A and B are shown apart, each in its own frame.
Chain A
Amino acid sequence: MIEVEHLTRRFRELVAVEDLSFRVEKGEVVGFLGPNGAGKSTTMRILTGFLPATSGTVKVAGFDVFDEPLEVKRRIGYLPENPPVYPDLTPLEYLRFCAGLKGLPRRAVAGEIERVAGLARLDGVMDRLTGSLSKGYRQRVGLAQALLGDPEVLILDEPTVGLDPLQIREVRELVKSLAGRHTVVLSTHILPEVAMTCQKVLVVNKGRLVDFDTLDGLIRKHLPGRTVTLEDIAFLEEIYSKLVEGPAAAAAALAGLGAAPGTAPEVAP
């Protein structure tokens, strides 16, 4: 469904994404992991046609993002890193606007808005100005927008940021329920989330792909001989720090010396 080949994106001299290649099959839910600044959001912006790639190709449902952007955009629901909501509109006005932008059939608009508002639990705030809503609600409005029109592919950049624990659980359930019919790529810094919702994990560091495999595959590869259950999610942290910071740091983390991702000194791969 999504084919990325040798994708590179530079911002002047800074290389944000470097020679990234991966494929996501139809119906898969893929978790996109990596430290801050790894290039997750940049990759998602390229997938959705917001940013052009410096080189490399991206295809969604067989259409090249650069050559046939409209065909690709029609099939993608996108939740950017910052929820793209307007403070001067109510969620209802906003979703109507998005429905118009996406060109949903007029007769279906009201029903579709009701559906996504239900999924994102927006009842009770539909007529308030978005600017006066809490951060979590703004995030939910953004999520509702991505779901509008039931697109085949969902690209969600940190969808659970700012949500309360119950809502986070609901979003996870939602994502799980999308699996199969929809292809989902979601980025997150919450590892348990990945263990619970995703079939595959894509780890990037400094713009490069470090690993892309199923959860089972990762466990076999990086923790050979260990048996872990998905409830015990500490293993994922262990794999993550191995991939992102190198084996030394992983050992340190294991020894409890506190090498939390992002705070530890960077080790060259």
Chain B
Amino acid sequence: MRAALAVARKELTAAFTTPVAWAVLMVIAFFAAQFFNGALDAFRFLTLRAMQLQNPGLLERLSLTERVVAPLFGSMGLLLVIVAPFLSMRLFAEEKRARTFELLLTAPVRPWQIVLGKYLAGMATMAAALLLVALFPLLLSFYATGTQGGAGVEWQTVGTGLLGLLLLGAMAMAVGMFVSALTESVIVAALVSLLFLLSLYVVTLFTIGMEGPVRELVLALSASDHLTSFLTGRIELKDVVYYLSFVVLGLWLTDRALEGARWA
């Protein structure tokens, strides 16, 4: 475990010495702010319409969490899938290119400790990105009050939404790390994992107009479809299992890849 922590620490030091991690965090903050403003404008427009229609029932049912936070988190899901490959690309590809891989593999540690350390570092950066996203509902809660005078933001839904995003990020990081362990090229690592993750994320587009078991299958494979319950405040076992199985598989395959890389 000590070795894993040493790897994680070194990885974070390197990640925040180079501009990559900072750039990713900036991109996240920038787009989160844009989506947040957009969703807030849409919400304002809706409340105005409801007032014009003189429909107090409708006005009461308009929920900030549902209309602002959930769409924000939904867009952040796509954004996470797009930026995660840039956080994971260096993990192993860079070690191989710079020949520091030899140092890691001749150290008295098992490969899984290296894998774990790298993954922890990747997830720490991912968690930092999610903290940035979490600032927006927090900001909202300072200004909004509920219709009955309670909190304007449903914290439970915010919580499950963040958990969903964290699981999605964990999946993206595990997939990206595995791809990074297969190549010496940082760019190839980023592009291949981006292609794979993005396909899994937008595969739902193909279900439009589809029916029956094929549609069910595509939805079951989709990384975005498994996020929807989290965004509406529910934690469903099948979604958790979906994301965690990618994490476990990704970590295991990376460990195998490290062993296998030496046989090439």
| Interface of A toward B, CB cutoff 8 Å | 45, 48-52, 70, 73-74, 76, 78, 80, 82, 84-89, 93, 96-103, 129, 145
Q: Pick the residue among A86, A96, A103 that contacts B2 (CB under 8 A).
A: A103
Tell me whether A97 and B6 are in contact (CB under 8 A).
Answer: yes
Tell me whether A84 and B102 are in contact (CB under 8 A).
Answer: yes
Q: In the complex, which residues of chain B have a beta carbon less than 8 angstroms from the beta carbon of A48?
A: 106
Q: Describe B's contact surface by its main secondary structure.
A: helix
Across the two chains, which residue of chain B brings its CB closest to A87?
A: B98
Q: How large is the interface on B (under 10, 10 to 19, 20 to 34, 35 or more residues)?
A: 20 to 34
Tell me whether B14 and A49 are in contact (CB under 8 A).
Answer: no
Q: B139 near A: Cβ within 8 Å?
A: no
Tell me whether A84 and B103 are in contact (CB under 8 A).
Answer: yes
How many Å from the CB of B188 to the closest CB on chain A? 20
How many Å from the CB of A87 to the closest CB on chain B? 8
The proximity string for B residues 1-22 relative to A, scoring 1 for CB distances below 8 Å and 0 otherwise, is: 0110111011001100110000
Across the two chains, which residue of chain B brings its CB closest to A51?
A: B262
Tell me whether B105 and A49 are in contact (CB under 8 A).
Answer: yes
Tell me whether A45 and B14 are in contact (CB under 8 A).
Answer: no
Q: In the complex, which residues of chain B have a beta carbon less than 8 angstroms from the beta carbon of A86?
A: 10, 14, 98, 100
Q: In the complex, which residues of chain A have a beta carbon less than 8 angstroms from the beta carbon of B110?
A: 70
Q: In the complex, which residues of chain B have a beta carbon less than 8 angstroms from the beta carbon of A145?
A: 103
Across the two chains, which residue of chain A brings its CB closest to B15?
A: A88
How many Å from the CB of A104 to the closest CB on chain B? 10
| Interface of B toward A, CB cutoff 8 Å | 2-3, 5-7, 9-10, 13-14, 17-18, 98-110, 262-263
Across the two chains, which residue of chain B brings its CB closest to A94?
A: B10
Tell me whether A50 and B17 are in contact (CB under 8 A).
Answer: no
Tell me whether A50 and B102 are in contact (CB under 8 A).
Answer: yes
How many Å from the CB of B115 to the closest CB on chain A? 14
How many Å from the CB of B158 to the closest CB on chain A? 36
Q: Pick the residue among B13, B98, B108 that contacts A103 (CB under 8 A).
A: B108
Q: In the complex, which residues of chain A have a beta carbon less than 8 angstroms from the beta carbon of B100?
A: 84-86
Q: In the complex, which residues of chain B have a beta carbon less than 8 angstroms from the beta carbon of A84?
A: 98-103
Q: In the complex, which residues of chain B have a beta carbon less than 8 angstroms from the beta carbon of A97?
A: 6-7, 9-10
A85 CA to B104 CA in the complex, in Å?
11
Q: In the complex, which residues of chain B have a beta carbon less than 8 angstroms from the beta carbon of A88?
A: 13-14, 17-18
Q: In the complex, which residues of chain A have a beta carbon less than 8 angstroms from the beta carbon of B2?
A: 100, 103
Tell me whether A73 and B13 are in contact (CB under 8 A).
Answer: no
A44 CA to B258 CA in the complex, in Å?
19
A99 CA to B2 CA in the complex, in Å?
10
How many Å from the CB of A37 to the closest CB on chain B? 18
Tell me whether A100 and B103 are in contact (CB under 8 A).
Answer: no
Tell me whether B13 and A102 are in contact (CB under 8 A).
Answer: no
The 6 closest A-B pairs by CB, nearest first: A100-B6, A84-B103, A73-B108, A101-B107, A88-B14, A74-B108
How many Å from the CB of A63 to the closest CB on chain B? 12
Tell me whether B13 and A80 are in contact (CB under 8 A).
Answer: no
A85 CA to B100 CA in the complex, in Å?
6
A-B contact pairs, 16 of them (CB 8 A): A50-B106, A52-B263, A70-B109, A73-B107, A80-B106, A82-B102, A85-B100, A86-B10, A88-B17, A93-B10, A98-B103, A101-B6, A101-B107, A101-B109, A103-B2, A103-B109
Q: Besides A84-B100, A97-B6, A97-B7, 7 other CB < 8 A contacts?
A: A50-B106, A84-B98, A86-B10, A86-B14, A93-B10, A100-B3, A101-B6
Tell me whether B3 and A49 are in contact (CB under 8 A).
Answer: no
Tell me whether B99 and A93 are in contact (CB under 8 A).
Answer: no
Across the two chains, which residue of chain A brings its CB closest to B16?
A: A88
How many Å from the CB of B116 to the closest CB on chain A? 13
Q: In the complex, which residues of chain B have a beta carbon less than 8 angstroms from the beta carbon of A101?
A: 3, 6-7, 103-104, 107-109
A129 CA to B109 CA in the complex, in Å?
26
A49 CA to B103 CA in the complex, in Å?
11
Tell me whether A93 and B105 are in contact (CB under 8 A).
Answer: no
Q: Pick the residue among B14, B106, B263 that contacts A73 (CB under 8 A).
A: B106
